[in-house]
Amino acid sequence: MSFFRVRTERLHQLQKLRPQFAEVYDFYGRLYSFLETEEGDWFSCRPDLQNWADRCQAGFPLLNGEALCIDEVPARGFLGRLIRQLAELGHEGQGDLDALHQALDDGSLNVGSLLKACLDRDRWAIVQASEKAEAQPAVLEFILSTTLSHFLQQGLSERFTPSSEGWQQGYCPVCGGVPVMAELSGEEGGKVLHCATCLTHWDATRLQCSYCGNEDTASLEYFTVEGETGYRVNICRKCSCYLKVIDTRELGEGLPMDVEDISTVHLDMLAQREGFTRGKRQAAV
């Protein structure tokens, strides 16, 4: 089954299970339909695979902004189409989308530089570009992260799948992004982290905070919600971060973790209500 078919079918299943989030599921379903038609001949990666083993051992992700090769003209065309699609889908942020589209038209947004800044976690560059365009940074950040994720996932699946064996960090070995979800799998319930950006997954220590590395079991807890079999939220009282967890021994393997993240926004709300936050992406290395 294709990448997008898996996601749209899971969204349809979840819409029946949680009809209160139907509008969110519809938004992402239509966004996936748009992305499925978009190919990225203008976007490619040239990672330093020759030195990957040494970088992995030292805790450096495989990719950074310098590894991205972007053809500016077609990249601007894609961003314009994505902005128009978001304008059709959403009810909020229309003014910001209009402002960003105008900035694209007048040449004040350098798409290649901004995508590299997004990968390098250089939020200041994104804030500056947003202010110049008179748009909210969160809107431009969503557009850039959606673009980066789409084409990184496409590129990784088609061109290279580097091994993350021996990786001990809580951030992605490929792009440095934070985990979108954790998965408990196998007979012993081993913990696997799934990247929010490129969907790479890697093994992790179960009784450890994936953000700060805390292993003090007295400050590591989790909570569950009645009726949400197979889901839980890990919390760390040392760094006040949380991570949503899905137990695939109960729900089955092969679930798209990016969709599971979308479908469990209520767990985010519960964790944030108690003062916990999602871990931030690591600074560029």
Q: Number of C-alpha atoms within 13 angstroms, CB side, residue 282? A: 23
pLDDT, residue 284, reads: 43
CB neighbours of 165 closer than 8 A, spacing ≥ 6?
A: none
CB neighbour burial string for 111-143, b if at least 16 within 10 angstroms, e if fewer: bbebbbbbbbbbeebbeebbeebebbbebbbeb
Name the residue with tokens 């894609």. 78
pLDDT, residue 156, reads: 67
pLDDT by residue for the chain (285 residues), tens only, comes to 588 889 999 999 988 888 888 898 999 999 999 999 998 889 988 888 888 788 888 888 989 999 999 999 999 999 999 999 999 997 778 999 999 999 999 999 999 999 999 999 999 999 999 999 999 999 999 999 999 999 988 766 545 555 566 788 889 988 999 998 999 988 888 899 999 888 888 999 899 999 999 999 999 999 999 988 899 999 999 999 999 999 999 998 889 999 999 999 999 999 999 999 998 754 444
Q: Which helix (H) or strand (E) holds 7?
A: helix 3-17
Q: Number of C-alpha atoms within 13 angstroms, CB side, residue 148? A: 29
Closest to 123 (Cα-Cα) out of 147, 103, 145, 102: 145
pLDDT, residue 117, reads: 97
**What is the CB neighbour count within 10 angstroms for residue 66?**
12
**Cα distance between the two ends of the chain:** 36
CA distances 84 to 44, 80, 92, 129, 203, Å, are 24, 6, 13, 19, 39
Q: What is the DSSP letter of 198?
A: S
pLDDT, residue 188, reads: 80
For residues 237 and 276, give the distance between their C-alpha atoms in angstroms, rounded to a whole number.
Answer: 9
User: Domain map of the chain by residue range?
Assistant: 38-159, 179-278
For residues 139 and 150, give the distance between their C-alpha atoms in angstroms, rounded to a whole number.
Answer: 17
Closest to 203 (Cα-Cα) out of 184, 187, 219: 184
Residue 91's φ and ψ, nearest 5 degrees, are -120, -10
Kindly report the pTM of this predicted structure: 0.89
pLDDT, residue 158, reads: 47
For residues 161 and 199, give the distance between their C-alpha atoms in angstroms, rounded to a whole number.
Answer: 11
Radius of gyration, alpha carbons of the chain? 19
